[in-house]
Amino acid sequence: MRSTATAASGLTGHSAARSVRGALASTVALVTPLAVLTAVGPPAAAAAPLPAAALAKAPAAAPKKVTVRLDKSPKFGEILVDQAGQALYTDAADKPPAKWACKGGCLHLWPALVLPNGQAAASHAATLKGLGVVKGPSGRQVTWNGHPLYSFSGDKPGQVKGQGLLHVWYVAQVSAVKTKAASGTKGSSGGSSW
């Protein structure tokens, strides 16, 4: 005997099962992004969507030695990268040591740049100033000008896909790209929002 709901909808046997499976798949598709947003916080009105690759990628294993170096990005100018060439970012909502906005599930998308045991500071060129260390949720985290540094799991070396996500993530920009104004005057530089 068919249930009242099935009889009312006109669905029988396999078509009712397909309908239930379809509804379940739609629910899972909606819940998964909600779980990610809960981990990283609510998006601003016009926040950029997170790349699907970032959601599927697991955090990398901790490096044996952390190094921070300068690299040139055609779009962002001189930026900080880690030992693997991954762009480094700051979270504008972090206010260490009292407030850590990225913790728990957020750290799967935005792995913190953490020093391994036995390394007192990040290795870097003598010309790179402003690096430090602060105790964070993941351990002894490298900072730049007081801002904790993270990589973005959706990036590959040479990419800067995390810039501006959720209006809090910004690439660690040492100097911006110089652009020429339309009137032909000397360039101006943009910068990150923090």
Asked if 133 contacts 143 with a C-beta cutoff of 8 angstroms, the reply is yes
Written as one string, the DSSP assignment of 86-143 is -B-EEETT-BTTTB-SS-TTHHHHS-B-BPPTT--S-B--TT---EEEEEETTEEEEE
- State the sign of the Cα–Cα–Cα–Cα dihedral 150, 151, 154, 160: positive
Average pLDDT, the chain: 74
- List, for residues 51-105, the tens digit of each pLDDT value: 555 444 544 555 689 999 999 999 999 999 999 999 999 999 999 988 999 999 9
Give, as one character, the DSSP assignment of residue 36.
H
What pLDDT, on the 0 to 100 scale, is given for residue 64?
86
DSSP conformational letter for 158: T
Task: Tell me the domain boundaries of the chain.
Answer: 4-40, 52-179
